[in-house]
Amino acid sequence: MEQQVLHIVDYIVIIISLIVSLYIGVYFAKKQTSTNNYFAAGGSIPSWAVGMSILATLISSITFLAYPGEGFKSNWILLVQAIMVVVVLVGLVWIVVPLYRKAIGISAYEYFEKRFGFFARMYSSIAFALTHFSKMGTVFFLMGLALASMTGVNTYILIWIIGIAVIFITLKGGIEAVIWLDVIQGFMLIVGGLLVLSIILFSVDGGPAAIIGYAIDNDKIGFAPYDWDFTKLTFIVMVFNGIFYGIQKYGTDQTIIQRYLTAKSERGAVKAALMGVLLSLPVWALFMFIGTALFAYYNITEASLPADIKPDEVFPYFIMTKLPIGLTGLILSALIAAAVSSLDSDLNCLSAIAVEDYYIRFKKDSTDEQKLRFGKLIVVISGIAALLIATLYVGIGGKGVLGIVFGLYAIFSGGIAGIFLLGLFSKRANRQGLNIGIVTCIVFTAYAVLTSQKFGDSTLIDLGAWNFTHHKYMLGVYSHLIVLVVGYVSSLFFKTDEIHEDLTFHAYYDKLKNNSK
């Protein structure tokens, strides 16, 4: 008989996992006596732990649930983004990590101000906040929806209970608690995924070969379509999206940049960055393959699915009906851990930019104690705001959740990667030119969103043949390119008074050239 409800043993496993998480927050609380400790752990974290933390930050309940859902209903086309992230980071990490460890205190967007002025810093930090608020709400929503379907507990109650726990851990333990909790949660996620995949692969006659063969025969393992078409989800769309996602995530995202600062040395930070991204690709592939294997499993065996089940719900259904007692609790703990490891990082980083980019600018005489107090207040406010967004998601339903996440990223990315590339590779680019590029990007984004987004059965603004018809993932790509091209060309019309060569790739190149002599 199939298991439909959690056993008491599973509940005990989940409760123990939550207690351990809360204990870690309390354990590191005594060290949080300064903003440097609260946001950068005093630069005391070993590189392997920072690398695991980067991995855990990138892997959330979106990976745990939506990637198997995509693998079940489609192929592996979304994994193209992860492949391109690896390619981008291997080329950028040697420049980016030393640059940030030298140029900034805590906020990644301090670099933007040093390179292009105050407006660039405010614009980029606001874009980061908008992107991550939307992401946090989605993570809370996915986690709550999955747990509610498995436990029968009200979705709203689960979201707020887990949310309050995340706020508490981040509030008390700072970035050090976040990182070490991420280490535990990263291992839980990987082990949980491998255990589930093993069970699926060896639950059919013929084992892994039968699963893989069936998937290949049904075109479930691949990256098609390969058309050169930007109006739909194609391989080339995901290549461009992945390139700029990688640049933005590892070159401008506070959640990653802040990790570089927690490592003991520059070399350790480089190792951590490489470790994080090189591990994330196989983990993303693991959960995509789980969905593919589930598709084969439910078609090869006599096991059946409810008639109205959605792709995102197949993996939770398998967990509840096919896994043994105890292991179900472990997998659910890993699901919760995946959400927590992403959310606690977001909260700490939102707090960091609130303090560094805003509070100390408008309260220049503030003491470190006051900054720390304000930072902790922002953790609470940001956490509650994200929970309200998740509550809204539950109210309106969560159709195409993974598509929503990528779409929101594209809309709110705001050309940040373009700003970074302009600052890094061009000595000629200046503040005035960049500002024109940003304004142009905002105008274009507004046009694209208003002429492509549906409100009911019609677009918000219908310009007929002039509507934006390309795939929404391309919106983020275009915004970066607009800032890059328009910003550079516009800079040619203004005099560049300051040459920030030490903040560009040219300084790195000159250093390599001198070392080779």
Q: Is residue 4's pLDDT more than 90?
A: no
Residue 282 has a CB neighbour count (10 Å cut-off) of: 11
* Fold topology of 8-413: Sodium/glucose cotransporter (1.20.1730)
CA angle at 457 for the pair 452 and 460, rounded to the nearest 5°: 40
* Local confidence band at 430 (pLDDT 50, 70, 90 cut-offs): very high
Q: How far apart, in Å, are the Cα atoms of 82 and each of 64, 95, 281?
A: 15, 20, 6
Predicted local distance difference test score (pLDDT) of residue 3: 46
Under a CB-based contact definition with an 8 Å cutoff, are residues 240 and 480 in contact?
A: no
Under a CB-based contact definition with an 8 Å cutoff, are residues 474 and 241 in contact?
A: yes
Q: What's the full length of the chain, in residues? A: 517
Residue 143 has a CB neighbour count (10 Å cut-off) of: 28
Region 214-241: what's the mean pLDDT?
93
Which of the given ranges, 69-73, 303-307, 394-398, has the highest pLDDT on average?
69-73
Higher pLDDT, 406 or 430: 430
Q: Is residue 481's pLDDT more than 60?
A: yes
Residue 455 main-chain phi, psi, to 5 deg: -125, 100
* DSSP code at position 227: -
Q: Is residue 202's pLDDT more than 70?
A: yes
Under a CB-based contact definition with an 8 Å cutoff, are residues 475 and 418 in contact?
A: no
pTM of the complete model: 0.88
Residues 226 and 148: their CA atoms lie apart, in Å, by 38
Region 67-77: what's the mean pLDDT?
91
| pLDDT tens digits for range 85-144 | 888 888 888 889 988 998 899 999 999 999 999 999 999 998 888 888 777 887 888 788
Give bridge partners of residue 454 from the DSSP assignment: 459
Higher pLDDT, 311 or 482: 482
Counting residues of the chain whose pLDDT is more than 90, the rounded percentage is 50
Q: Is residue 258's pLDDT more than 80?
A: yes
Query: For the chain, where do the domains classified as CATH 1.20.1730.10 start and end?
Result: 8-413
Nearest alpha carbon to residue 473 among 509, 497, 448, 454: 448
DSSP-based helix, strand, coil % in the chain, nearest 5: 80, 0, 20
Predicted local distance difference test score (pLDDT) of residue 398: 53
Residue 355 main-chain phi, psi, to 5 deg: -75, -50
Under a CB-based contact definition with an 8 Å cutoff, are residues 343 and 56 in contact?
A: no
* Local confidence band at 367 (pLDDT 50, 70, 90 cut-offs): very high
Q: Is residue 197's pLDDT more than 90?
A: yes
* Local confidence band at 504 (pLDDT 50, 70, 90 cut-offs): confident
Under a CB-based contact definition with an 8 Å cutoff, are residues 220 and 292 in contact?
A: yes
Token pair for 290: 């789980």
| pLDDT tens digits for range 371-389 | 999 999 999 999 998 898 8
Token pair for 128: 């980061």
Higher pLDDT, 41 or 412: 41
Dihedral, CA of residue 216, residue 221, residue 226 and residue 232, to nearest 10: 120
Q: Is residue 508's pLDDT more than 90?
A: no
Under a CB-based contact definition with an 8 Å cutoff, are residues 73 and 483 in contact?
A: no
| pLDDT tens digits for range 274-296 | 998 888 889 999 999 999 999 99
Counting residues of the chain whose pLDDT is more than 70, the rounded percentage is 91
Q: Is residue 495's pLDDT more than 90?
A: no
Region 350-357: what's the mean pLDDT?
94
Q: Is residue 469's pLDDT more than 50?
A: yes
Residues 474 and 477: their CA atoms lie apart, in Å, by 5
